Structure formats: C-alpha cells, structure tokens
C-alpha cells in the first residue's frame, strides 16, 4: 500500500485544527505542532463570557464585514456560518442565536467544544506536539525548539496557522514574521484590530470612572454607526461597539494623528424629544440634575462636560450635545492588548488556495494572513474558513 502523505500543522488554534481535521479525513498523516503547553489557548480566551462562533445575518451582508484584499468572502462561501453551526453540532455542541443575531454554543463556553474537537481529532489519528516553537527551515525540513532540544521534520505539506501578534502570552506573538520575511514572503505590518483607544482624559474622567460601562449608546465615525456598549478605561475607551469601529478609527489616527468619535447618549430619542424633556425640568434644577432626570449616567455627563466645556444651559443646545458628543481619540492601544490583528502575509504572497508562492507546498491560514473583521462572530468564522481553504489547497496541490 502507498504510504499516506504527511502534513505538519504549525499552530493549534481554530484555523490550524480545522485544516488538520479536513486532511485527516482525507487520509493524510497529520501532526499539529504548537509552542504552548496545550492547544487552543486563545480560542479558550475567546470563550470567556460566551463563545461567539459566528453570526446569523444574511450571507451577503455577512461577507461584507471583512476588510483586506485576501478574498475571505470567497472562502466563506465554501465554509458558511451554517456549515460552522452544523460542524459544531456534530461535535455534540448545539448552537443557538442570541437576541443580537450572534451564534453561540448552547453551553456558552469554548472548553467543552475544544475538548470534543480534540477527542475527534485524536480519533482520526491526528498527533499533537506541544512546546514546539517553530524556528523556520533547514532546507526542506521544519525546525522546532523543544524542551529536549532542536528537532526537525520533513512533511509533504505544511500549514502555518500561528495567529497574529495579539495576546502573545497565549502563543500568538508574531515571531514568524522574520522567518517568512527571510524566505522572501511579502508582509504587511501587523497592527492592532478590535482594540481600544487612548483619549487623554481630563477632569479625572479616567480615574473616577475607569471600568464603568456606557450602555445602550451609539458611536459613530464617518458613515458608520454602531449601537452597543463600551467601557471607560483610565486612559481611554474600549468595548464591543468600539471594536466594531476600530479599523477605520485606527486608520484615521495613522493618517491624521487623531480620530473624532461621535457619541449619542440617547439613541432611542430624537433631539426634539430630548429638548422637550429638558424644558419640563423644574426651575432651579442644576444642570447635572436635569441630565440625570433624562436618564444619563454620571459617567456620560462627565464625558459630555469634558468634550463640551462649559455645557450649554439652553435646552436646544444641550439636547444637541446629548445626541452628538465629539470625543477625540489620540492613539491606539498596544497590539498586545488587542483582540486581533490586521496585516500579515500579503495576498500577493499566496495563491488562491493560500499556498506561499515563495515556498510551494506551504500554506497559510488564520490571522497570519492580511485580513481583518470585527468581533461578533466574524473573526472566528474567518479563521475557520481560512483553515478550511488551506486544507482544500493542500488536497488540490497534491492531487
């Protein structure tokens, strides 16, 4: 009998494990290498507070959530959100759609799903090698640094899926950039994505309200508006609604040195209704009392005061501030604090099946590639879909 072909998967996150599963099902001899003591550490971190796997919105709208030239929408056509839900349920983890349209496993956790997945991979013969830090190549051999010293392996195919450079303590440290750059692979600089921003609070907003959520607020930048929540930090602001706008905000800060975020503290009310409510306040009420009676939190009032000092007293002008408080963002939180990264292996460096043009037989998946998407299910879906595509590329290349 012919010896099965072999593939080394470098990186044990969703993209790498999805590629491993597809290749094992096709009869390949698959080994997953990871530099951490266990697999899927960032995946487990993503599940804290509920594992948002994907989103239930219409597919065409869903595919429009991806930025970058890589062609993630085409990959998602081949591995759709519905396919991801069916895959999850085949592992014994039923999924459900939350009120926002986001899709979660019924357990609401990553750990049961990961345990079931690793059991299934082991049952298909997938081997794992942890504490193996990739060092690059020596000829055609992959080199790894291990607790027992340097080891090498020469598989038929390689899938690189080591993540970007966010959360380096979980394994995604971006050290692969120098290794691929030395091979002539074109790279776009890694930048923070799904990240917070520094503001440079005055009037003690950061020190007084750090950790305070802003709920049911809308945030706008350019032509985009997001309704959701954010959290005040000592140095600035972060949270789900901010992450959804982080890419254009980051790009504007890179271009102009700052980006102005517009906050609507009462998105459910129009400006005339707010004005009428403010006019109904009793004579003698302080400005703070008038705003609190409108349902604004102390933190919201503090942000309004800082951005529009002094606050106007007239109802019409004050209503306008409630509906549109401009907050200048001065900088981007460090990449180590970001949920994900933009940049990486450029689209020009890989073919349509994600094979490196500089290294035939080597494929790239996940956040190593130059694309980005917001949280809300889009980021994880992209990782799964790119791992699926890389495995398809391996099978197509080796026929």
Out of 302, 332, 362, pick the residue that ends a domain.
Answer: 332
The residue segments making up the domain with residue 15 are: 6-192+338-398
Tell me, yes or no, whether 306 and 346 share the same domain. Answer: no
**pLDDT at residue 286 in the model:** 86
Tell me, yes or no, whether 59 and 85 share the same domain. Answer: yes
**pLDDT at residue 378 in the model:** 96
Asked, for residue 1, whether it belongs to a domain, the answer is no
Q: What is the CATH number of the domain that holds 345?
A: 3.50.50.60
Out of 283, 311, 332, pick the residue that ends a domain.
Answer: 332
Tell me, yes or no, whether 47 and 86 share the same domain. Answer: yes
For the chain, what is the domain count? 2
Tell me, yes or no, whether 44 and 59 share the same domain. Answer: yes
pTM of the model: 0.93
Out of 317, 332, 347, pick the residue that ends a domain.
Answer: 332
Asked, for residue 294, whether it belongs to a domain, the answer is yes
Tell me, yes or no, whether 361 and 262 share the same domain. Answer: no
CA dist., res. 363 & res. 384, Å (int): 14
Tell me, yes or no, whether 99 and 180 share the same domain. Answer: yes
Helix (H) or strand (E) holding 150: strand 149-153
CB proximity list for 74: less than 8 A, separation 6 or greater: none
> Using the 8-state DSSP alphabet, how is residue 246 labeled?
H
Tell me, yes or no, whether 226 and 288 share the same domain. Answer: yes
**pLDDT at residue 103 in the model:** 97
Query: Strand order in 325-329's β-sheet?
Result: 325-329, 259-264, 213-221, 224-232, 236-238, 197-198, 331-332
Mean pLDDT by 10 residues, the chain (399 residues): 90 98 98 97 89 96 93 95 97 93 94 97 98 96 97 98 94 95 96 96 88 96 95 95 96 97 97 91 79 93 91 92 96 95 97 97 98 94 98 96
**pLDDT at residue 35 in the model:** 97
**pLDDT at residue 47 in the model:** 85
Tell me, yes or no, whether 215 and 171 share the same domain. Answer: no
Tell me, yes or no, whether 224 and 188 share the same domain. Answer: no
- Taking CA atoms, 222 is separated from 41, 236, 259, 271, 343, in Å, by 36, 20, 10, 20, 22
Tell me, yes or no, whether 116 and 232 share the same domain. Answer: no
């Amino acid at each position: 009998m012919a010896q099965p072909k072999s593939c080394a998967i470098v990186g044990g996150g969703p993209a790498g494990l999805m590629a491993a599963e597809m290749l094992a099902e096709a009869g390949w001899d698959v080994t997953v290498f990871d530099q951490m003591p266990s697999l899927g550490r960032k995946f487990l971190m993503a599940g804290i507070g509920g594992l948002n796997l994907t989103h239930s919105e219409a597919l065409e709208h869903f595919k429009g959530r991806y930025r970058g030239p890589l062609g993630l929408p085409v990959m998602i056509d081949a591995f759709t959100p519905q396919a991801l839900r069916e895959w999850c349920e085949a592992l014994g983890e039923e999924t459900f759609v939350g009120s926002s349209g986001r899709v979660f496993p019924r357990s609401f956790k990553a750990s049961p799903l990961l345990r079931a997945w690793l059991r299934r991979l082991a049952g298909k013969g997938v081997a794992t090698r942890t504490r193996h830090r990739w060092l690059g190549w020596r000829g055609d051999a992959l080199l790894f640094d291990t607790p027992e010293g340097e080891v090498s392996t020469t598989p038929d195919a390689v899938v690189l899926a080591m993540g970007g450079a966010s959360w380096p303590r979980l394994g995604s440290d971006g050290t692969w950039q120098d290794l691929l750059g030395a091979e002539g692979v074109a790279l776009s600089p890694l930048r923070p994505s799904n990240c917070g921003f520094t503001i440079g609070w005055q009037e003690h907003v950061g020190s007084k309200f750090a950790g305070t959520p802003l709920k049911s607020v809308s945030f706008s930048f350019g032509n985009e508006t997001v309704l959701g929540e954010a959290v005040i930090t000592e140095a600035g602001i972060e949270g789900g609604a901010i992450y959804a706008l982080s890419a254009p905000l980051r790009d504007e800060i890179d271009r102009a040195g700052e980006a102005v975020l517009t906050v609507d503290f009462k998105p459910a009310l129009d400006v005339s209704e707010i004005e009428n409510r403010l006019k109904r306040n009793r004579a003698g009420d302080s400005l703070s009392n008038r705003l609190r009676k409108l349902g604004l939190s102390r933190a919201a009032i503090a942000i309004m005061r800082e951005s529009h000092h002094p606050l106007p007293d007239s109802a019409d002008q004050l209503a306008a501030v409630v509906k549109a408080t401009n907050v200048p963002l001065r900088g981007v939180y460090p990449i180590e604090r970001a949920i994900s990264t933009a940049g990486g292996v450029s689209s020009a460096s890989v073919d349509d099946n994600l094979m490196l043009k500089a290294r035939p037989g080597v494929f790239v998946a996940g956040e190593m590639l130059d694309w980005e998407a917001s949280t809300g299910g889009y980021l994880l879906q992209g990782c799964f879909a790119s791992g699926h595509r890389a495995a398809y590329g391996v099978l197509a290349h080796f026929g």
